[in-house]
């Protein structure tokens, strides 16, 4: 397969292409890569796929799925060269995991709803961690490298699955916790102690994520929407400044606020 110059575009042709790129006489750049050097590309491609999904760009989703898959194939090829594992091992491992964690589909277990499926999934994961002598904590396996708001959301979700959470259906106590953390941040600010301010700011953000979760919102996605809205409105301000032939330094804060309010009227 290594000498293929064309084919039917199957998965294994992709694997063969990557093997050739990494082989002697292949691509110098591809040959120099390692797991660590591929990390930023893996993250970048995942976010580009998310952007395509959010934009409902079907063609984009197709292309970005391929880019994400390429990173997996790339990593597996490096592992194969080191004698660690192959892409077949990757597929086999995830297949076995899916079967093991869906006893209601591939076994005799009966479940009532998706909530019970989720509880069973977490229970099976915990059993797997204990069996492999890895950290059996409910919170184990949540990547530290996740965006902070997303990691907070997942931590809270995991804790909730074992009952450590406010009752469902009443977000008011969670909002009260947000108010409490805001008051503690204000007190720390007035005390002027940087360490306390940082800690209380973190507690407030964590509480806000939790409040959003109880309303059914993922704070990471909510914040991204807010970011996008700000960008749209700020770019509208930039257009206004350019049309007026001015310079940012010639605008007072009051002038900029006026431009901002005008931008809000025209841009959602």
For residue 7, the SS3 value is coil
- The second-level CATH assignment, the architecture, of 11-100 is Orthogonal Bundle (1.10)
- Copy the structure tokens of residue 159: 């804790």
CA–CA dist 74, 51 (Å, integer): 22
pLDDT in tens, 19-46: 999 999 999 999 999 999 999 899 899 9
What is the DSSP-derived secondary structure letter of residue 113?
S
**HSE value, Cβ hemisphere, 13 Å, CA-based, for 200:** 19
CA–CA dist 223, 207 (Å, integer): 14
pLDDT in tens, 98-147: 999 999 999 988 888 888 888 888 788 777 777 776 666 888 888 888 88
pTM over 0.85: no
Enumerate residues 6+ apart whose C-beta is below 8 A from 19.
1, 2, 77
């Amino acid at each position: 397969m290594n000498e293929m110059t064309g084919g039917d575009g199957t998965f294994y042709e992709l694997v063969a292409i990557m093997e050739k790129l990494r082989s002697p006489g292949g691509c110098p750049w591809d040959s120099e890569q390692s797991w660590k050097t591929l990390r930023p590309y893996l993250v970048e491609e995942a976010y580009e796929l998310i952007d395509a999904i959010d934009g409902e760009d079907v063609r984009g989703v197709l292309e970005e799925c391929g880019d994400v898959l390429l990173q997996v194939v790339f990593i597996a090829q490096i592992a194969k060269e080191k004698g660690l594992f192959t892409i077949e091992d990757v597929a086999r491992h995830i297949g076995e995991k899916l079967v093991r964690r869906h006893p209601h589909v591939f076994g005799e277990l009966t479940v009532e709803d998706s909530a019970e499926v989720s509880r069973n999934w977490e229970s099976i994961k915990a059993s797997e961690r204990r069996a492999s002598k890895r950290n059996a904590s409910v919170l184990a396996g949540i990547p530290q490298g996740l965006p902070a708001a997303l990691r907070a959301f997942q931590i809270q979700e995991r804790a909730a699955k074992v009952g450590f959470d406010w009752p469902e259906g009443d977000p008011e106590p969670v909002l009260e916790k947000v108010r409490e953390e805001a008051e503690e941040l204000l007190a720390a600010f007035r005390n002027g102690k940087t360490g306390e301010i940082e800690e209380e700011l973190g507690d407030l953000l964590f509480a806000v994520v939790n409040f959003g979760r109880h309303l059914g919102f993922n704070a990471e996605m909510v914040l991204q929407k807010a970011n996008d809205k700000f960008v749209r409105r700020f770019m509208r301000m930039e257009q206004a400044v350019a049309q007026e032939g001015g310079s940012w330094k010639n605008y007072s804060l009051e002038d900029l606020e006026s431009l901002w309010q005008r931008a809000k009227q025209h841009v959602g």
